[in-house]
Amino acid sequence: MAQAQNLRNVLVVGHGSCGKTTLCEAILYNARAISRMGRVEEGTTVSDYGQDEIKRGISISLSVLTCEYQGVRVNILDTPGYQDFVGEAKEALAAVDAGIVVVDAVHGVEVGTEVMWGYVNERSLPRMIFINMMDKENADFDRTLKSLRDDLGISPTPLQLPIGQAAAFKGVVDLLKMKAVVFKDGVASEEEIPEELSQEATRFHERLIEDIAEVDDALTERYLENGSLTPEEIKTGLCQGINASKIIPVLVGSAEKNVGILCLLEAIIALLPSPIQRAPILAFNPTTKEAQEVIPKEEAPFAAQVFKVTVDPFVGELALFRVYAGRLKPGDTIYNSTQGRSERIGHICFLHGKERKDVPSVSCGDIAAFVKLKGIRISDSLCDPSQPICFKEIEFPSPLTSLAISPQTKADQEKLSTALHRLSEEDSTFKVRLDQELGQTLIFGMGEVHLEMMVGRLISKFGVEVKLEEPKIPYREAITVKAKGEGKHKKQTGGRGQYGHCFLEIEPLPTGSGFEFENKIFGGAIPSKYVPAIEKGVKETMTKGILAGYPVVDTKVTVYDGTFHEVDSSDIAFQLAGSFAFKKAFENARPVLLEPIMKVEVIASESDMGNVIGDLNSKRGKIQGVEPKGKNQIVRSLVPQAEMHKYSSTLNSLTGGRGTYSMTFSHYEVVPSHLAEAIIAQSKAE
């Protein structure tokens, strides 16, 4: 078990298909953790071992990989780049001390790169940029550097230059050592810098030293006095600058050809911070809510956070956690400060892809998993019972896509609720909600592929067969003019009868005003004790709707006259009279159907703008504006919710998977009459 100073916990992120998983495979191969590199297309990588990942050829879940090199253990968290599974990256961010942002040398910064860069910024993580695929046709180092500057708004600091590009790519120039490192069959040999790169290398080396000198005042002074820095000052300043995110180093290579990967592995060990080099982690006291710092030390009280929960088909529930301070061994009792209960620890294991290895203890900096620890959840804080602390919960993006789900059989119905609850505990971007108004159980995910995967797990993990439907739209009904209505309920069947009679006036209110009720009965036409019953009858009718069965909104109702019977009048009679009067008034008030309008923001490349805007227009969308964001564009629009079903697939098709979008509720608007007629007819048929 490595000491904390000999640990590196690194996250690998980037846009989908930029080569993250292949890069992780190459790092493991260079560290001799595996004997041969697997291939994503063949389903043979250590990272992508799930059936769905092998079938689709994409990463779906984060994987913890581990290797040792030069006496340092490196924990690598490989994350999906596909936006449907962005929650996996958010989980991993909570467990690492640094990030490697992978950028495709052909396409440069893409939408997914920007999203992941933003997440890394949120955590203030030290990071490196690895420009991958330098061996591909149209790879361009200078263009990619420009993309980093323009699209991410940063000033990157290259530590290497490529020797050749595309088919001619064969190695890198190390700008710290000012040597060329040439790779043949994955084996590196150090040579002199090729003459054609000598001047460029000198220019980049000088800029590198200047960037390091600017990290702090003491280094700046020595640089100005001596005109240079010592090798020790260069390394110390570089590490300091990376740790403070003042320097964003750039390395280059080809994961598939295993060129430059050994240099990257050495840079991870030499330049990225260990767990004890990171700043104290902010937490708070669960009782007093006072802020406190957790110092990353092995001698400190135990403190950890769960960042992922998953179910292994062979061993059951696995809870992945990161130790921020202290030590823990099987048999110890810890306090779950999030849930307010103590836990006795059983098995603890290290993970390497799908493999598990039981360990006798874990300490500061370790990333490990509990086996069969029931009831534990993502973001739970675990600590020494004598010194309770809580970490901030991991924040996840809101899911964008929904489906209505129902069981195939009664047997499935009994299992469905439990299965959905379990899946939502495993994946914080998967939500379940019972919509009482629409009478549907809705599942929400980051996209259609995400929901498809979760439904697949219902079948494979829990044996639950389900039916899927398009979610109903929460339409509303409203009136546009004042109107009056009379309602009478009179029934005589022998003995005491029923009698209620009232006159109502209804009028529209401004959007968002809700419901108002006013009593203008004079002279005792209706005793005041029956007025609440009239209001109740009106409210129940408004809730059920009249046009198409949707709630009536933004309406004022005034009861102004009526009659009663000394013996036969009752609350129920006036409740029915109020309902009848409202229905009649509603029919005369030029009723309309309202639909929810969503605020939609799409980020895509400029070349895709025409297709994106054209599609939004075809969905009855109203374009609010377009503005640049680096080399991409943001389109803001208002689109009816009814038109946004399966939009993630549409956008993927329009942008080749490079577009992203967000959607939030904006307001309600009147449905065009020709569409309203169809909706009302369908509702009445149902």
Residue 328 has pLDDT above 80, yes or no: yes
Q: For a pLDDT cut of 70, what percent of the chain falls above it?
A: 99
Query: 126 versus 457: which is more confidently predicted?
Result: 126
CATH number at residue 417: 3.30.70.870
What is the pLDDT at residue 124? Answer: 92
Residue 1 has pLDDT above 60, yes or no: no
The model's pLDDT over 197-249, given as tens digits with 9 standing for 90+, comes to 999 999 999 999 999 999 999 999 999 998 889 999 999 999 999 999 999 99
176 and 103 part of one domain: yes
Domain that holds residue 544: 480-590
Confidence class for position 544, pLDDT limits 50, 70, 90: very high
Q: For a pLDDT cut of 90, what percent of the chain falls above it?
A: 80
Mean pLDDT (whole number) for 538-543: 97
524 and 574 part of one domain: yes
The model's pLDDT over 487-506, given as tens digits with 9 standing for 90+, comes to 999 987 766 789 999 999 99
301-315, 403-417, 475-489: which range is least confident on average? Answer: 301-315
Judge if pTM exceeds 0.95.
Answer: no
- Residue 281, SS3? strand
Torsion sign, CA atoms 456, 58, 367, 352: positive
- The burial of 142, by beta-carbon neighbours within 10 Å (0-12 exposed, 13-18 middle, 19 or more buried), is given as exposed
302 and 416 part of one domain: no
In a domain, 219, yes or no: yes
Helix (H) or strand (E) holding 505: strand 498-508
507 and 457 part of one domain: no
Distance CA 145, CA 540 (A): 64
In a domain, 474, yes or no: no
382 and 522 part of one domain: no
267 and 163 part of one domain: yes
What is the pLDDT at residue 34? Answer: 95
In a domain, 305, yes or no: yes
CA distances from 467 to 78, 455, 642, 682 (A): 33, 10, 20, 21
What is the pLDDT at residue 211? Answer: 95
222 and 208 part of one domain: yes
- Comparing CA positions, the residue from 97, 98, 76 lying closest to residue 27 is 76
Q: 262, 277, 292: which is the final residue of a domain?
A: 277
464 and 338 part of one domain: no
Q: What is the DSSP string of 391-430?
A: EPPPP-PPP-EEEEEEESSHHHHHHHHHHHHHHHHH-TT-
Mean pLDDT (whole number) for 47-76: 89
In a domain, 475, yes or no: no
Q: 590, 616, 640: which is the final residue of a domain?
A: 590
In a domain, 147, yes or no: yes
**Residues 557, 560, 561, 567, Cα dihedral to 10°:** 70
**Per the structure, how many domains does the chain have?**
5
Confidence class for position 684, pLDDT limits 50, 70, 90: confident
CATH number at residue 546: 3.30.230.10
Mean pLDDT (whole number) for 545-563: 96
What rounded mean pLDDT belongs to the chain? 93
